[in-house]
Structure 1
Amino acid sequence: MRDKNNNTNGLYRATCRHIRYIRDTYFSSYHLAGIVIDSFVHAAIENWNYVEPGGPSAKEGDYEKQLLDYFNQHNTFGELNLTSPGSNQPVDTKSSMDCLNKVLTKIAI
């Protein structure tokens, strides 16, 4: 996880924290496990990263839409095929799917 965060100039950890903030602020009555957040962002972030000031950047909202698109494209029968970033063990996503969808939809609009 440290390598992913370093390779993305801190975007990985910032994204995980932002998703947790949205979950805790708007969807606290839903279940969304931290390991699902970490594993999802690790898989979905691809080659996105923070850039130095003045460097090339994407349009506002593109990154959030990419996360939602990744979720929609990889959602198979109400589950995501994710592994934990550290141990590569399978992650059970079934009980977290509804909340993850709500959080990603909220940040993408």
Structure 2
Amino acid sequence: MYVGSYGRGTAISTSDIDILLELPKNEYYHYSSLTGNGQSRLLQTVKKSVLSRYPRTEVHGDGQVVVVVFSDGMRFELLPAFETSSGEYEYPDTHMGGNWKSTNPKAEQEALKRKDVESNGLLVDTCRQIRFLRDTYFTNEHLPGILIDAFVYDSIANWHWGSGNGTSHQSEYSSGHPYEESLLKKFRIATAWGGVPQWRAPGSGMRIDNSASICNSLGKILKKMAEE
């Protein structure tokens, strides 16, 4: 299953793709029963499996994923995971002696898709525009794709692309501010007086990193959008 920005349909590059590898549940019980960081052993098993098929390819473990980098620059991050009865997935985290974490990419993808349809495509276009500005003008800033998507999902309100004229409109209760300015205003309200925003992953409600440095990066990009 494609996950991450590519899976949510908000990526602007296809050279870095996240893939969730759903494994049999019995493997979860096996690696959970091992002593000495079974999660790390699971990643090593996946790594060896990839290397057996692509022996000349750069392959290494990285905390929660196995990273595969091909000679043409294509990069894949493989996340081994196990589906639960609730539809979520548990995946390995090798840090702090090893543990399992949860994710729900299906719920996130479905939530974004619904709101993108409601906005006539404005949601995805906005997420991609923010990524473009990040990668073009703010290359030294760290701004994860999931935070971009969560912010836009939470802030887009009733804005949507108009039919045929390329502009965005809100409902009859619109304050009249341009769309980009409304996003910047919502960001400033959420971060006023040093406040820590509580944006969560759309659909799943999973916690994401809302640290000050990351939010500061988002603020710089939103300001540029509003000024252009």
Equivalent residues of 1:35, 1:91 under 8 A apart? yes
- 1:1-109 matches, within 5 Å, as 1-53=112-164, 62-76=178-192, 77-94=194-211, 95-109=213-227
Structure with the bigger RCO (C-alpha within 8 Å, sep 6+) is 1
Partner of 1:90: helix, strand, or coil? coil
How far residue 86 of structure 1 moved from its aligned partner, in angstroms, is: 2.8
Q: Which amino acid in the other structure matches residue 65 of structure 1?
A: E
- Tell me the SS of whatever aligns to 2:204: coil
Q: 1:45 touches 1:67 (CA, 8 Å); kept in 2?
A: yes
Shift of 1:75: 1.0
- Comparing 87-96 and 24-33, the one that deviates more: 87-96
Structure 2: which 5+ runs fail to align? 1-111, 170-176
Query: 5+ residue gaps in structure 1?
Result: none
| More helix as a share of residues | 1
Aligned equivalents of 2:167, 2:218: Cα separation in 1: 29
Contact 1:32 1:96 in 2 (8 A): yes
Identity percentage over the alignment? 40
Q: How many residues align?
A: 107
Q: Structure 1 residues 102 and 54 mapped into 2: Cα distance closer, same or farther (>3 Å)?
A: closer
2:153 is paired with a residue whose SS is helix
Tell which structure's C-alpha radius of gyration is larger: 2
- Measured in 1, the distance between the counterparts of 2:220 and 2:148 equals 13
For normalisation by structure 1, the TM-score amounts to: 0.89
Moved beyond 6 Å, runs of 4+: none
TM-score normalised according to structure 2 size: 0.44
- What RMSD in Å do the two structures reach over aligned CA positions? 2.0
- Which amino acid in structure 2 is aligned with residue 86 of structure 1? G
Helix, strand or coil at the partner of 1:24: helix
| TM-fit CA distance, 1:99 | 0.8
